[in-house]
Amino acid sequence: MPMKEEMVAMILAGGRGTRLKSLTSKVAKPAVFFGGRYRIIDFPLSNVANSNIHAVGVLTQYESTALNNYLGSGRNWGLNGTGSLTSVLPPRETPEGASWYSGTADAIYQNIDWLDKTHCKYVVILSGDHIYKMDYAEMLRFHKQNNADVTIACIKVPMAEAPRFGIVVADENNQINEFQEKPKKPKSDYASMGIYIFTYDLLRKALLEDAKDKESEHDFGKNILPTLLGEGKRLFAYPFKGYWKDVGTVQSLWEANMDLLNGDCDLELFANNFKIYSADTTSLPQFIASTAKVEDCVINQGAIIHGQVKHSVICNEVVIEKGASVNNAVILPGAVIKKGVKVNYAIIGSSAVVENDIIGKEDDVVLYTVE
């Protein structure tokens, strides 16, 4: 891998995603479908491509087969060929033995050899399971302007939700004075997005020292960042103003899909600039019958609609039979909604056949999947 890159990306894509319930029983969370034609990991990968980063390592672990196959060479995001590189980096056996990634920092530590070969000056570390658009080149400019050791992308969140996140306390110049990992009593509403730019020399040293600490959980939020802050390193908060969603629960995944149907959604998924790229499903054309009534929907290729569909996201190869009614729902690939069935406030899993009404509530959506 003879490369020399100013900044490379490392995407942490090994999460189990247990709060997504049966949606992640056989696939990793970043491989879950979203927005009619995408998978969640399409967003960080497209951000990397759109930010003119040419080398990316994708760190997989839980139920990685489908995700590894989907990623392939990185061709779908333009991250293959001369001058570009996509590497899938699962845990591997070395002369020292074999071990799973035991934390976010340990995952990067186990791939220091890969990073060394890129001869990079900076590393951007990303989560593989968030929905957003970001130009990491702009974040790198901010990092350089502040002569930062670490830059953390941050966003304002409701104070009631702050205990779910890493929370930063920063001064008027965006320099971080304190970092709290999922605090019971947060000192601010400024949340880490789990997006970090590190100057690589400092990151490498910090990871090597953390690996020796038997008391460490080898986690960025719990160990690496607080340690560097305590050592007086320069940590800065990069203020992000756009759309960002951690789709870690069934409810939040549904909400993010519904956001796409909002005409003024900041994600701007339907804009031609800064596109989100994905694999082509090689589906047949969609078909909307004369009996169908469709309003305010995202509908992918291969869908066949005979019934009524309103304010919903419909993936490829979905069939909605005559007399069926789908409202405020997300229907994943290959699902069939049988004749006369009503689906409301729900996520219907891939290849599920729905023969009875599925009715949820706006604040308590129903997940229905194949057993």
Q: Is the pLDDT of residue 324 over 70?
A: yes
In terms of domains, do 243 and 312 share one?
no
CATH number at residue 175: 3.90.550.10
pLDDT-derived band at 97, boundaries 50, 70, 90: low
Closest to 148 in 3D by CA, of 132, 124, 130, 166: 124
Q: How many domains does the chain have?
A: 2
Q: Is residue 270 predicted with pLDDT exceeding 90?
A: no
- Distance from C-alpha of 189 to C-alpha of 191, rounded to nearest angstrom: 6
Q: Is 108 a residue whose pLDDT tops 60?
A: yes
236 lies in the same domain as 94: yes
pLDDT surpasses 90 at 126: yes
Share of the chain above pLDDT 90, in %: 82
Residue 164 lies in a domain: yes
What pLDDT shows up at residue 133? 97
Q: Tell me, what's the pLDDT at 298? A: 96
Compute the average pLDDT of residues 293-315.
97
pLDDT band at 93 (very low <50, low <70, confident <90, very high): low
Q: Is residue 154 part of a domain?
A: yes
Instruction: Give the residue-averaged pLDDT of 125-135.
Output: 96
Residues 50 and 191 in one domain: yes
Assess whether pLDDT exceeds 70 at residue 202: yes
Interatomic CA distance for residues 273 and 265, integer angstroms: 15
17 and 94 share a domain? yes
Q: What is the pLDDT of residue 65?
A: 85
Give the model's pLDDT for residue 78: 84
pLDDT at 95 over 70: no
Phi-psi region of 119 (alpha: psi -120 to 50; beta: other; left: phi over 0): left
- Spatial neighbors of 13 by CB under 8 A, at least 6 apart, are 28, 30, 41, 58, 59, 60, 67, 128, 129
Shared-domain flag, residues 246 and 300: no
Better-scored residue on pLDDT, 263 or 109: 109
Determine the pLDDT at residue 223: 97
Mean pLDDT of 283-290: 96
Q: What is the pLDDT of residue 261?
A: 95
Question: Model confidence over 138-191: pLDDT tens digits?
Answer: 999 999 999 999 999 999 999 999 999 999 999 999 999 999 999 999 999 999
Shared domain for 253 and 171, answered yes or no, is yes
In this structure, are 150 and 291 located in the same domain? Answer: no
Report pLDDT for 263. Answer: 80
What average pLDDT does this structure show over 334-342?
Answer: 98
Burial 139-153 (b: 16+ CB within 10 A, else e): bbebbeebebbbbbb
Q: In this structure, is residue 2 part of a structural domain?
A: no
Which residue matches tokens 């490392």? 10
Q: Give every CB contact of residue 347 below 8 A, 6+ residues apart in sequence.
A: 23, 250, 253, 254, 329, 330, 332, 365, 366, 367, 368
pLDDT at 274 over 80: yes
N-term to C-term CA, the chain = 43
- Torsion angle of C-alpha atoms 32, 34, 39, 43, degrees rounded to 10: -120
- Angle at the Cα of 46 from the Cα atoms of 34 and 40, rounded to 5 degrees: 20
Is residue 271 in some structural domain? Answer: no
- For residues 248-276, give the mean pLDDT: 91
Q: pLDDT per residue over 9-53, tens digit each?
A: 999 998 778 899 999 998 899 999 999 999 999 999 999 999 999
What integer pLDDT is reported at residue 66 of this predicted model? 84
Range of the structural domain that residue 312 is part of: 287-368
Model confidence at 112, pLDDT cuts 50, 70, 90, reads: very high
235/157 same-domain check = yes
CATH at 298: 2.160.10.10
Average pLDDT in the chain: 94
Segment 45-66 mean pLDDT: 92
pLDDT at residue 98, as a whole number: 57
Pair 255, 294 in one domain: no
Chain mean position to CA 240: 16
- pTM for this one? 0.94
- Residue-level pLDDT at 15: 78
Shared domain check, 292 and 236: no
| 281 domain residue, yes or no | no
Same domain, 160 and 226: yes
